[in-house]
Amino acid sequence: MDYTTLGRTGLRVSVAGLGAGGPSRLGQKAGHSKGQSIALIRRAFDLGINFFDTAYNYGTEAILGAALKELGRSSVILSTKYAAHDVTADRIVQALDDSLRTTGTDYLDIFHLHGVLPDDYGHAVDTLLPALLREKERGKFRFLGITEATSVDLRHTMLTRALTDDCWDVMMISFNMMHQGARSHVLPAAKERRVGTLIMAPARCLVSTPDRLAQAIQALVKQGALPAALGETDEPMGFVLGEGGATSLMDAAYRFARHETGADVILFGTGDIRHLEANVASLLKAPLTRSSVDRLTSLFGHLEGIGLDQSRRDRITPV
């Protein structure tokens, strides 16, 4: 495993981070048992992953907590989140306490305000932040994070604003081969301010489903957003494959995100140990060729919101 320092937190974190949400939720969405999910976490740990991310409303905090008892609390970086929309200061403190109780730990490494929309940022800073900082002083969590509403705030407006404040230690950012705006809007400023970065949605369903990818590219061609030639081939992104290239589009997606300047941890979710192992292998490979990266940037760098889960266009609201 490769490790890096998560910005000014000083935490040494694996470049691969296992997310306990998304479509899989550690396999819980597919009906896996708690024991199977714990075995997945244990395998991730054996592969060198020490960064695990969950959230109050994922329903997986207890599973991670059970795994922590086996792995040892000090050997794992634990990150969790709670939605910030229409939440009172008292509720955010209660949510923090609930997460501590559910995970069975005395402290969290990172606690995030989750899915903060631009219109909610003022409330987050004026109302929720003071309450959370008091809890931080009490030792309930070590570092404060903030995450964007992935497929709503497509231009990273909230995070751009958040980077003008000095209260956030970590940010969770959406970035992938067809949604590259964070390269200009967020990542350089985060690096300059030593804010740790967690990359979400590096692959998602679009890249893992060839038919869906082809349909999306055809639609973009019809809109005039992509060259017509891309719509005339069965493998519009085939240039990243082949000798000296990626072994698959998923492999390309993870390597593209992993080697982006300013990206610290690449998050992915899975309920399958084989997928876990394949994703880690991709994240430990060399960067894509310069020509592949340049072409991906030239073709798709102007796009917004492609490859993000469309089901998340609604506000993220607390449970």
- pLDDT tens for residues 171-180? 999 999 999 9
Please state which of the ranges 10-14, 15-19, 211-215, 238-242 shows the lowest mean pLDDT: 211-215
- Residue 311, pLDDT above cutoff 90: no
- pLDDT classification of 186: cutoffs 50, 70, 90: very high
Q: How many CB atoms lie within 10 A of CB 85?
A: 18
For 227-235, what is the mean pLDDT?
88
pLDDT number for residue 205: 66
Nearest to 79 by CA among 91, 58, 71: 58
pLDDT digit string (tens) for 34-56? 999 999 999 999 999 999 999 99
Higher pLDDT, 10 or 30: 10
pLDDT number for residue 312: 41
Residue the block writes with tokens 């950012």: 173
Q: Which two tokens stand for residue 311?
A: 């089901």
- Residue 212, pLDDT above cutoff 90: no
Please state which of the ranges 162-166, 199-203, 243-247 shows the lowest mean pLDDT: 243-247
Q: pTM for the whole thing? A: 0.94
Nearest to 274 by CA among 1, 28, 44: 44
For 282-301, what is the mean pLDDT?
95
- Residue 150, pLDDT above cutoff 90: no
pLDDT digit string (tens) for 70-127? 999 999 999 999 999 999 999 999 999 999 999 999 999 999 999 999 999 999 999 9
Reduced to 3 states (helix: H, G, I; strand: E, B; else coil), residue 189 is helix
For 55-79, what is the mean pLDDT?
95
- pLDDT classification of 314: cutoffs 50, 70, 90: very low
* CATH number assigned to the domain covering 3-310: 3.20.20.100
pLDDT number for residue 307: 77
Pairing of strands 3-5, 51-53: unpaired
Residue spans of the domains in the chain: they are 3-310
- Residue 187, pLDDT above cutoff 60: yes
- Residue 319, pLDDT above cutoff 50: no
Over the chain, what is the mean pLDDT? 92
Query: How many residues appear in the chain?
Result: 319
Partners of residue 276 on adjacent β-strands: none
Phi, psi of 145 (to 5 degrees): -125, 170
Phi, psi of 51 (to 5 degrees): -110, 120
pLDDT number for residue 316: 36
pLDDT number for residue 309: 64
Cβ pair 31, 71 in contact under 8 A = no
For 24-33, what is the mean pLDDT?
91
Amino acid symbol at 234: D
pLDDT number for residue 211: 78
Nearest to 37 by CA among 25, 48, 53: 25
- pLDDT classification of 266: cutoffs 50, 70, 90: very high
Pairing of strands 12-14, 3-5: antiparallel
pLDDT number for residue 308: 78
